Amino acid sequence: MTKPAALVLDFGGVVTKTLFETHSLSEQALGLPPGTLAWRGPFDPASDPLWRAMQADEISERDYWKTRTNEVGRLVGEDWNDMSTFVRRARGADPEAVIRPEAVQAIRTAHENGIRLAILSNELDLFYGEDFRQRLPLLSLFETIVDATYTGILKPDPRAYAAVCETLDLPAEACVFVDDQKRNVDGAVAAGMRTVWFDVAEPARSYAAALAPFGLPSPEIRHESI
């Protein structure tokens, strides 16, 4: 078996906390009463029928967030038509506040041990805005970012995985791919990648699993600024 050489991460949910986890920050930023945002996605699928519809492939991930964006926009008396508006208004003032500390330490550990780093995202700039990368120094550790905002090729399309492998000039089996969406993990498996499904409820365990194929121990989580 080819020795793994690159760690390929999804962005939203893997590097950043999900919007489900930061409802209180969003409500504060948007001037909404605590408890206004009640949808919980993977943290409480039974109470979120829209999330269940997405998981059943009845709607796309972008459809899910388009609906939530429209809903939250109406709550603040505005017409929001794109996810970038939601994300910027809810968490744009301090992007580092929503980065997982587990992600910071795992990414640094990989980088310090010579593991190549890449991001494969369906909507990094679409959701976060084009200037987000410049405001997040952690992203400078990544060799490449393949973003469907520009390629138009969404995971789990096989071409998305092929694109990041081509950019890295590595075979698929040399890449460890990490994503919080099962369908995207399944797509990576079909593409020949090693994979880790990222459990957003257990980020430390998930990052430990992501580093294990490289023979790296679980990183010690130090809560510090990036």
Find, among 201, 197, 200, the residue nearest to 210 by Cα.
197
User: Domain 6-16+99-214: which CATH class?
Assistant: alpha beta
List per-residue pLDDT tens for the chain, 226 residues long: 678 999 999 999 999 999 999 999 899 999 999 999 999 999 999 999 999 999 998 998 889 999 999 999 999 999 998 888 998 898 866 778 889 999 999 999 999 999 999 999 998 998 888 888 888 999 999 999 999 999 999 999 999 999 999 999 999 999 999 999 999 999 999 999 999 999 999 999 999 999 999 999 876 655 443 3
Residue 193: exposure state from Cβ atoms within 10 A (0-12, 13-18, ≥19): buried
Q: Is 117 helix (H, G, I), strand (E, B) or coil?
A: strand
Domain borders along the chain are 6-16+99-214, 23-94
CB 221 within 8 A of CB 203: no
The pTM of this model reads 0.89
Report how far apart, in Å, the C-alpha atoms of 84 and of each of 53, 124, 217, 225 are: 22, 9, 36, 24
Q: What single letter denotes the amino acid at residue 59?
A: I
